[in-house]
Amino acid sequence: MRNLPVSRTIRLRQGYGGRVIRAASFLLVAAAAGVAACGGNDPAASGPAPAAPPPMDVKAVTLQPKPVPQSSEFVATIRSLRSITIQPQVEGFVRQILVKAGDRVRAGQQLVQIDPDRQQAATRTIESQRAVREADLELAQQELTRIRQLAQEGVVSRADLDRAESAQKTAEAQLKAVQSQLRENEVELQYYRVTAPAEGIVGDIPVRQGDRVTPSTLITTIDQASGLEAYINVPLERAVDLKVGLPVELVDSSGKVLTSTALTFIAPRADDATQSVLAKATLRQIPPGTRVMQYVRARIIWSSDPALAVPVVAVTRLAGQHFVFIAEPMDEGFVARQKPITVGAIVGDDYVVQNGVKAGDRVIVSNVQKIGEGSPVKPS
């Protein structure tokens, strides 16, 4: 150290000592904080434990066996018991179609007009032949009257009289034949007007104006709204359970029941094309908007044996397994216990339970997402 004044040397030493004292004080404070932190692990030093959370209010239902319908759904076709196929009785070209599909028609109302020109021409030809035959008959009758007078006077022979009588009968027979043919043509002419044989609703009309039709051509169908049936094709594996009288429900796309009925017919043989058995159910009440040949969902109820069922809202699914929470008594309260279950079909708002729970269990149906295994609960 260079030679400095004494007073300055003393001040330097004091400054260095002050820094040492301040550093020592910082270390003491840090050590005290560490001791305090280590002492926090001591329960006695940290104070009383926090209170347990109160039990959660939940709703619960007590399981009891109840009649649960066991059913299967199939696609059914609505058909009419009074469905009439309209085909022409004559051959010709369609001149005019007077109705459209879906129209309601009365008995005798004209549906289609087939071109009658050829038949009308034939009828006019026969009418002209009738006029000729009528003239021939009138002439034969006059000739017969004159021959009879001459025969009475002895001017003509008996043979002449016989020939006159024969000519008169021939002319009369020819006139009757023409009249019969004319009546036949007139009746056939009416067939060119295709009419509705009964009241009902017009089905699809596959023919068009200008098409050539024959007696084997399908023009349309007439279906009556009353007397509808549901045709249900049941696969062979379930056909063994079919019985006349089994309840049948027609349901909409959301599962709502539109009408209820029962099976009225079961086919004695299977359909070789579909490998199914036809079952029919007559509709006692016809749902609004139901149409013939419409596809509907039909539910056949096989049985209504008692079974356990849990609400759908109470069931959770994890990794493909279904679970429910049971309110289990514990000390003076209840705790939630998670139970794996095996479910069957959904009936209404419930799952049919095959195993996993028993009668008397209290299944939690509310706040399911807010509780866990062992959570205290307060069922109501």
For 167-216, write each residue's pLDDT tens digit.
999 999 999 999 999 999 888 899 999 999 988 888 889 999 999 999 99
pLDDT at position 35: 37
Radius of gyration of the CA atoms of the chain, in A: 51
Max CA pair span of the chain: 204
Please count the CA atoms within 13 angstroms of the CA of 318 that sit on its side-chain side.
Answer: 8
Mean model confidence pLDDT for the chain = 83
User: For 128-179, how does the pLDDT look when each residue is reduced to its tens digit (9 = 90+)?
Assistant: 899 999 999 999 999 999 988 888 888 888 888 889 899 999 999 999 999 9
Q: How far apart are CA 352 and CA 282, in angstroms?
A: 30
Kindly list the distances between the CA atom of residue 101 and the CA atoms of 92, 110, 202, 203, in Å, as whole numbers in the listed order: 22, 14, 5, 5
Helix (H) or strand (E) run with residue 348 in it: none
pLDDT per position as a tens digit, 20-33: 334 334 433 344 44
Delimit the domains of the chain by residue range. 6-41, 56-67+307-379, 71-80+223-305, 117-190
**The predicted structure's pLDDT at residue 50:** 62
Task: Say what the pLDDT of residue 193 is.
Answer: 93
> Taking Cα atoms as reference points, which of 112, 116, 111, 110 lies closest to residue 92?
116
Could you write out the DSSP letters of every residue in 157-222? Answer: -HHHHHHHHHHHHHHHHHHHHHHHHHHHHHHHHHTTEEE-SSSEEE------TT-EE-TT---EEE
Mean pLDDT value across residues 75-87 = 88
Q: What pLDDT score does 340 carry? A: 92
Q: What's the pLDDT score for residue 119?
A: 87
Exposed e or buried b per residue across 42-68, where buried means at least 16 C-beta atoms within 10 angstroms of its C-beta: eeeeeeeeeeeeebbebebbebeeeeb
Tell the CATH topology of 56-67+307-379: 2.40.420
With respect to CATH, is domain 117-190 assigned 1.10.287? yes
Q: pTM to 2 decimals?
A: 0.52
**5-9, 66-70, 134-138, 202-206: which has the minimum mean pLDDT?**
5-9
What is the structure's pLDDT at 6? Answer: 39
Beta carbons of 310 and 350 less than 8 angstroms apart: yes
Q: What is the CATH number of domain 71-80+223-305?
A: 2.40.30.170
Which amino acid makes up residue 114? I
pLDDT of residue 43: 47
- pLDDT tens sequence across 236-274: 998 899 999 999 999 988 888 899 999 999 999 999 998
